[in-house]
């Protein structure tokens, strides 16, 4: 009976104040949607850095690194390769899917498949590298290109300064271009450069059998000094938490603002609650009404936000990763609990005032 009355009360509240209802639902939906999208972006970054997709090898013999590079590309038992990089202290020779670097190029373009296969003289420059050039060279480098190993290269794109966000060991082990300049891997090999490192990202998690095969391939190299087989690494979880602290703080402040809007809306119906209490309703009954109102409101907004994230995920699957079901459940509970708490803290003094009112005249 109480539940049915509460649902009916919520419906009346929406009909009596449609503008407030729409504003409250829309504000809560947008805030929740922003929170979900930011969490999905951070979760994508976290998952990419901890899933079993990355191989990193450091070898004192450039010949062994080059041989391993060819063996990895020719091995049919391993998953397909998203990106594979040959590295020295200055340059990266990379062969990759065009999507692997697309979100890291604020300027220009990635190598075309033809340029990668033919070993064209094209280069990607880190923006850090460009900023450290004399001003006159910065103005001309995109037109004039650069010289590498005595050959002219066209500068076709600029890479984000990702190095400032990650420790060096993480960059080497999973970032496809940890150096200041990147060129196609075939070009790198044709110039007879001397790679001392290799990193590789596979399209999927390696099975136990594939990991063992990879271990056998690496064990055949005599001069390897360091290697990391694909495996789960949770070292980035702290960064995942730290990267979300500011987002959560901002969104909590936004939720407080939304909760005040909701409280203002609920208080427009205070005469009804006052009548209820004059007629014998207890404070707990009014709290129950407010709880059901807040539950319905938050869930309408939350499920609307979830529907929006499904649409957004289809268009930005390279940058977002759906959160696990248990995370979504807790976020939904958290949004409701937080707004409910703010509404109650704002409403309880009024409820106490209603109890003390006597001689209320209903017009």
pLDDT tens digits along 119-171: 899 998 888 888 888 887 887 888 888 888 889 999 988 887 665 555 555 56
Tell whether the model's pLDDT for residue 174 goes beyond 70: no
Look at 165-174, 237-246, 329-338 and tell me which has the smallest mean pLDDT: 165-174
Query: If you ran DSSP here, which 8-state letter would residue 103 be given?
Result: T
Tell whether the model's pLDDT for residue 51 goes beyond 60: no
Average pLDDT over residues 231-257: 66
Higher pLDDT, 173 or 90: 90
Per-residue model confidence as pLDDT tens digits over 269-283:
666 666 676 676 677
Count of CB atoms within 10 A of residue 202's CB?
Answer: 22
Q: Give the integer Cα–Cα distance in Å for 361 and 237.
A: 60
Q: Give the integer Cα–Cα distance in Å for 35 and 30.
A: 9
Confidence at 360, pLDDT banded by 50, 70, 90: very low
User: If you average pLDDT over every residue of the chain, what do you get?
Assistant: 77
Helix (H) or strand (E) holding 202: strand 197-202
The pLDDT assigned to 362 comes to 38
Helix (H) or strand (E) holding 29: helix 18-50
Tell whether the model's pLDDT for residue 247 goes beyond 80: no
- Quick check: helix, strand or coil at residue 83? strand
Higher pLDDT, 354 or 128: 128
Helix (H) or strand (E) holding 146: strand 146-148
Pick the most confident of 182-191, 330-339, 354-363: 182-191
The pLDDT assigned to 358 comes to 42
End-to-end CA distance of the chain: 27
The CA dihedral of 78, 80, 83, 84, to the nearest 10 degrees, is 30
Q: Length of the chain, please? A: 363
Q: Give the integer Cα–Cα distance in Å for 6 and 289.
A: 5
Residues 6+ apart with CB under 8 A from 259: 338, 339, 342, 343, 346
The pair phi, psi for residue 251, each rounded to 5°, is -70, -30
Count of CB atoms within 10 A of residue 46's CB?
Answer: 19
Percentage of residues of the chain with pLDDT beyond 70 = 74
């Amino acid at each position: 009976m109480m539940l049915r009355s509460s649902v009916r009360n919520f419906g009346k509240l929406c009909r009596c104040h449609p503008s407030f209802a729409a504003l409250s639902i829309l504000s809560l939906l947008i805030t929740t949607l922003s929170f979900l999208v930011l969490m999905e972006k951070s979760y994508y970054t976290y998952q990419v850095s901890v899933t079993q997709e990355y191989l990193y090898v450091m070898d004192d013999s450039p010949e062994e690194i080059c041989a391993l590079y060819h063996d990895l590309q020719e091995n049919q038992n391993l998953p397909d390769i998203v990106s594979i990089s040959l590295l020295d202290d200055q340059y990266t020779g990379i062969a990759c899917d065009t999507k692997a670097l697309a979100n890291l190029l604020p300027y220009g373009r990635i190598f075309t498949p033809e340029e990668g296969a033919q070993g064209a003289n094209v280069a990607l420059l880190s923006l850090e590298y460009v900023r450290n050039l004399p001003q006159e060279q910065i103005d001309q480098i995109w037109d004039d290109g650069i010289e590498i190993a005595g050959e002219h290269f066209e500068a076709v794109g600029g890479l984000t300064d990702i190095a400032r966000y990650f420790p060096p060991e993480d960059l080497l082990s999973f970032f496809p271009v940890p150096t200041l300049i990147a060129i196609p891997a075939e070009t790198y090999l044709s110039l007879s450069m001397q790679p001392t490192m290799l990193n590789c990202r596979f399209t999927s998690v390696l099975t136990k059998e594939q990991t063992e095969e990879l271990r056998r391939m690496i064990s055949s190299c005599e001069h390897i000094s360091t290697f990391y087989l694909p495996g789960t690494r949770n070292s980035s979880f702290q960064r995942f938490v730290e990267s979300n602290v500011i987002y959560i703080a901002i969104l909590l402040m936004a939720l407080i603002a939304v909760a005040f809007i909701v409280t203002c809306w609920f208080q427009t119906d205070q005469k009804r609650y006052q009548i209820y209490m004059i007629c014998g309703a207890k404070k707990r009954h009014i709290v129950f009404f407010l709880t059901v109102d807040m539950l319905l409101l938050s869930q309408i907004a939350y499920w609307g936000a979830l529907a929006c994230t499904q649409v957004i995920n289809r268009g930005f699957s390279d940058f977002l990763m759906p959160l696990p079901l248990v995370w979504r459940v807790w976020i939904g509970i958290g949004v409701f609990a937080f707004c409910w708490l703010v509404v109650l803290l704002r409403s309880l003094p009024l409820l106490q005032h209603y109890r003390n009112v006597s001689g209320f005249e209903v017009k």
